[in-house]
Structure 1
Amino acid sequence: MAETKFIIKTNNKRDLWIQIGIVLLLSLIILLIFFFIYLPWTTNHGESITVPDLRGMKLEELEEFLDDKDLRYEVQDSTFDLNMPPLSVKEQYPKANSKVKAGRKIYLTVVAKNPRMVTMPNLKDMSLKSAEMTLKNYKLIMGSITLKPYLGSVVLEQSVTSGQKVPEGTHINLVAGDGANNKEFTAPDLIGKTEEEAKFEIAASGLILGSVLPAPGTPGTITKQNPAAGTTIRTGDIIDIWITSDAPPTTPDQQQEPNL
């Protein structure tokens, strides 16, 4: 069989360059069609997918469900929830109804089969609001609250001793003061007084001494208080003081936060 050869016939160099230019132009057009029309069409480029609501779904259902929607998932965390079945989705990111690209991974928090054990915090002398926030941080639940006559509205007893290991989701019952005679008045001015003088005035005002924090200066002198002098407070509220000492002052990272 005779070999076929493709020969460009030109009469001069000008015709040759014209034909080379035509070939290059056609090649460029083919490349543009491939990258901007064919490739985006085959890969669904630019299309967005609405993220479904996965909360409550079991893990065993997810893979097939998300495959149909061209999405993936990854379990990022787990937590215990008495009100949800184990190995079901509790939280997701991105959230339901978000717009994402095909193939996007959805990060999940699922319900653990068994609760994790946490160390019970000490809630005594905290306000009920602070106690509730602390319990939430430890993934515990505030249970019943029993009030008893007491000057301050603070936690007096807790159903689980501090330091004891308890499962997440445990209900913690509290006994708190009812704040009897809980009248409003202005906070006393403790600045410049000694620690003993401040303690006497705090007790005489029906307040509770909270944190005693170190501060730089002449040893034995109060330089700051919280709430500040003149602030409206109630009988039984907690007041924190900053008092100078011989010890070097703590850095902001080392200094503990006062009770609020």
Structure 2
Amino acid sequence: MNSASPLQVDESRDQPVFMAALLSRVKDEVEEELYGFTTDEIVKATCLAIFAAATDTTTVTLTWALALLVNNPLVLRKAQQELENHVGRDRKVEQSDMSNLVYLQAIIKETMRLYPAGPLSLPHESTEDCIVGGYTVPKGTRLLVNIWKIHHDPQIWTDPFEFQPERFLTSQKEIDVKGRHFELIPFGSGRRICLGSSFALEIVQFILASIIHGFDFQKQSTKPIDMTESPGLVNHRAGPLELLVAPRLLPHVY
């Protein structure tokens, strides 16, 4: 917070280090209206939101996706074939490849449908009296949306408990996860939709593509991986995911 200190820069990217940039921004606005919060509270809350809301949920989604793929080896092979068609085996996956990986995008949608990272979303509170769907909702009412239930509704989804990425390439091709289709809302919807949804989609797709492109995965036994969920605000697996891993690309790529 010393005004005489230069802003720290990540030399590899020529960009300000996140914490230095955050502290600098708060310092610049310290004279402005901060809604009654101290600068320490703002910095701590921002860091907590980033680590709790982004890191944890991203890790959870990637873990479920990998577990689903290993339990469904034909889907995994199909995704890897798509990567070979568009990327090959002599280089790593790049961000520019993402738009071509249509089947991988369907896998991620289906993962978020079956195992939404926030199964009950976040609490929402009405700021005034209103009527929603014929129900009177008084001001101050807190609402939890059961996203998990919506994503498994048999009136909306055929075979709702089955892992079928192809549904997003055929009958439900037009459905996305950006809050425009209420049958699939892993990030919520409307004005209070997750602010990090675009970042999350990009990073999950890129990491999952890199992982399954670079490595083969197998179960440790002939039994299916246990897909039991643990209770909580974030939809973690009940136990760790332990797999056998082997490289599948040319040695120089690594």
Q: TM-score, normalised by structure 2?
A: 0.19
Q: Comparing both structures, which one devotes a greater share of its residues to strand?
A: 1
* More contact order relative to length (CA 8 Å, sep ≥ 6): 2
Q: Comparing both structures, which one devotes a greater share of its residues to helix?
A: 2
